[in-house]
Amino acid sequence: MNARHPINTPATPLAQAAAAPSRYDVELVAVSKSYAGAAAVETISLRIPKASYCCLLGPSGCGKSTTLRMIAGHEQVSAGDILIGDRNVTDAPPAARGTSMMFQNYALFPHMTAVDNVAYSLKVRGVAKVERRARAREFLDLVRMSSFAERLPAQMSGGQQQRVALARALITRPQVLLLDEPLSALDPFLREHMRGELKRLQRELGISFVHVTHSQEEAMALADMVVVMEAGHIRQTGSAREIFEKPNTAFVARFIGGHNVIATPGGQVAVRADRCRLGSAGSLTSLSGHAANIEYLGPMVRVSVATDNGLDAAALIPDELFFTAPVDIGHAVTLIWSERDAHALSD
């Protein structure tokens, strides 16, 4: 039997709060998941406020997809509880949770038109054909795919198939939409466009989206709330800006990107690469080394620095500033930054 917290006992704070409408669309209470004795997710707790765009971010194997599947009911928890709104859905089947899930491969029926794919879940629920197709057309219009209603999946691009899959996930009017790496199969241009579409839909519908991704850029662009995971644990939760400006560990600083992690006599600090420059130390903090790589990124130039003490670091320099005093790979350089730009880390 799964371990359970006695959340329905009147003495517990969670049970007392349940008498009032919840301020959260999703709440995880000390949730764990193990496979054959190996922990995939270890005692995580999380509250996602109503109508939020939340991204679960982390490397492969960190537990983010397992967490999403537990919220959806496609994986049974080993311990803990899951609430959707003010309902404990830990043991509820997927269809009874008030959630809908969009899978990475879209999973459209190849023999069905777009409108019939979107209407399918209503067909399963016994909704009459005329009504379900009319509602399906409404949701195709919402995702700007009404002109493709009678096309088969093979007659649509990947981005168009994704929109149809979104409409199908939304037609049941879920309280929470769950998305498992929905943009990973798209090319970079379309991926950027679809980020805007996802955020537009989330705002228009006023429901929570919980979106799994390993892309830092994707999470930063979309999320009101970023949850950084590593090895089955939540390492940091906050807005994209909070996490980027103030990572709390070396792992978060490195994974979120754009930071140098530097050991100092007082402990480790994170310094944003765009706050670093190349020059002479003077009154600034500095590390000497050589330019290991140079990448022209348009408005910025990234200079990777191999320091004399074995550290890999980088400076992200405005292109105009770089080309006033350019360096080549192999040149001796000094990486400099202001002490006020160093953020102390907990490990």
Tens of pLDDT, residues 104-151: 777 889 999 999 999 998 888 888 999 999 999 999 999 889 999 999
Contact between 44 and 34 under an 8 Å Cβ cutoff? The reply is no
Instruction: Give me the chain's average pLDDT, please.
Output: 89
Contact between 234 and 44 under an 8 Å Cβ cutoff? The reply is yes
Residue ranges matching CATH 3.40.50.300 in the chain: 13-98+174-245
Residue ranges matching CATH 2.40.50.100 in the chain: 260-344
**pLDDT tens-place string over residues 18-48:** 456 779 999 999 999 999 889 999 999 999 9
Cα separation, 7 vs 14, whole angstroms: 6
Q: In the CATH scheme, what is the code of domain 13-98+174-245?
A: 3.40.50.300
**What pLDDT does residue 21 have?**
72
Q: In the CATH scheme, what is the code of domain 260-344?
A: 2.40.50.100
Give 295's strand partners: 302
Of 180, 199, 206, the C-alpha closest to 50 is 206
pTM, 2 dp: 0.86
Residue 271, judged by CB atoms within 10 A of its CB (0-12, 13-18, 19+), counts as: buried
Q: What percent of the chain has pLDDT over 70?
A: 94
Q: Report whether pLDDT(12) > 60.
A: no
**pLDDT tens-place string over residues 223-236:** 999 999 999 999 99
Cα separation, 201 vs 112, whole angstroms: 24
Distance from chain centroid for Cα 231 = 16
Of 119, 129, 128, the C-alpha closest to 172 is 119
